[in-house]
Structure 1
Amino acid sequence: MRSPSLLPRRARALAAALGAAALLSACSVLPKAAPLDVYVLPVAAGAPASAAKTLPWSLRVVRPAAGVHLAGQRIVVMPEGNRVSVYQGAGWSDPAPALVRDRLLEAFRADGRVGALSSDERQLHADFELDSDLRAFQSEYRDGRPEAVLRLDARLVHTASRRIVASRTFEQRHASADPAVPAVVQAFGIAADRLSAELVDWTVREAAAVR
């Protein structure tokens, strides 16, 4: 004859097993996350390096600060008014602020006038620091057509004194040839190239005025 004390334990074990099986069954039918198409920020064929002599000062380019909706890897779109959304199934290869910082570094290297460059990832000593706030990095619809919008509030800082020696807002817009995501991404690349070129010239000019 079975011991009465064993029955509750066996019942509890059976119930636990059935519960676990039901949980696994439920998990197996949960929808999987949709895969993302990942895009790098395109770069146009670089302009030839400046023939000017390499400047005798160093520069650290800092990753821009950004609000929550611009700090991630999703490609932001504003289809109407102030409504913020993202392109479904698409994302950037890195968070938008990192893309902007890296594009600026690429522009300085291609220009060639500032030879001693670093980023905030290494925290090396530099004579100047380029700090900024990323205010826009999104696609906006104008007259039913998307355009890439980039806006950056830049500050050139003298690192020894921690003094802001110059500040300026840079903005570039470029209409996309097509509403499809690959064409919008190309528009982002063109706008980023133009903004970077403007910012490189401004930085060199303002730093020279200080030194």
Structure 2
Amino acid sequence: MTDLKLMFTGLRNPFSRLLWAVILCLPLAACTILPQTPISQVYLLPAQPAASAGGPTIERSLRIVQPNASQFINGSRIAVQPQGSEITAYSGSRWSDPAPILLRNRLTQEFRSDGRFSSVSTDDDNLQADWELGGDLSSFQGVYNGEQGEVVIRFDARLVQTSDRRVMANRSFVARQPINGRSMDDVVKAFGQASDQLAAQILAWTRQQAAN
């Protein structure tokens, strides 16, 4: 190192000094211990809304609100229970929106595709509505029992009459979908299929309440 310093100070040309300074710094740059930031994959929730089944129009407007959720589920991390009661998140992957917003938007998509309610809005729209559909999202995660995994979505729905905030009906819904594969794409596909099941069940239940 002493010989290199003497060589460096003996150079009269500024360009030569700069070149040698860069060369001396190269080993330091190559040996950095700082970890590389992992690339995060962002996923949309897949959806296959049901086509309109026809039938009479329901002369009521419906507002679908973001459900309540625990602090862990109320985020964009893709939750997973790898074993027992432990809950964590799939590494390097996240949703495009927090899980409660994903479910609200999925339900809104289902009701609008059905087309029977006179209008369907969300709490983002801040529009007047006759009924409000909300509730509690208690599960939105992958669950593993050994090597076999499944997606579990559990939603406790409440149908409220907005004029007096009276709860007209409530019901718990659970959708389960096996995860067929080990890739993150397989996991996300299972989430989409489970949310399709859940949305169809809630749509049928809400239409039934309208018929009562």
Name the TM-score class by shorter chain. 0.7 to 0.9
The aligned counterpart of 2:90 is 87
Partner of residue 160 from structure 2, selected from 157, 162, 166: 157
Q: Which sections of structure 2, spanning at least 5 residues, go unmatched?
A: 1-28
Name the SS of the counterpart of 1:80 in structure 2.
Answer: coil
Q: How far does the alpha carbon of each residue in 1:136-161 deviate from its partner, in whole angstroms, 9 at most, with x for none? A: 00000134211110000000001111
The aligned counterpart of 2:38 is 34
1:32 Cα offset (Å): 5.1
Q: Say whether residues 1:67 and 2:70 are aligned partners.
A: yes
Aligned letter for 2:142?
A: S
Q: How far does the alpha carbon of each residue in 1:111-155 deviate from its partner, in whole angstroms, 9 at most, with x for none? A: 111130110012211000001110100000134211110000000
Counterpart CA distance in 2 for 1:47 and 1:119 is: 19
The aligned counterpart of 2:50 is 47
Q: TM-score, normalised by structure 2?
A: 0.82
Number of residue equivalences:
182
The aligned counterpart of 1:4 is none
Q: TM-score, normalised by structure 1?
A: 0.82
Q: How far does the alpha carbon of each residue in 1:94-120 deviate from its partner, in whole angstroms, 9 at most, with x for none? A: 100000000000100111111301100
1:195 Cα offset (Å): 0.4
Preserved contact between residue 50 and residue 110 of structure 2 (Cα < 8 Å):
no
1:33 Cα offset (Å): 3.6
Percent identity, please: 42
The aligned counterpart of 1:12 is none
Partner of residue 171 from structure 1, selected from 174, 186, 192: 174
The aligned counterpart of 2:134 is 131
Preserved contact between residue 146 and residue 179 of structure 1 (Cα < 8 Å):
no
Counterpart CA distance in 2 for 1:86 and 1:143 is: 17
Q: Which sections of structure 1, spanning at least 5 residues, go unmatched?
A: 1-24
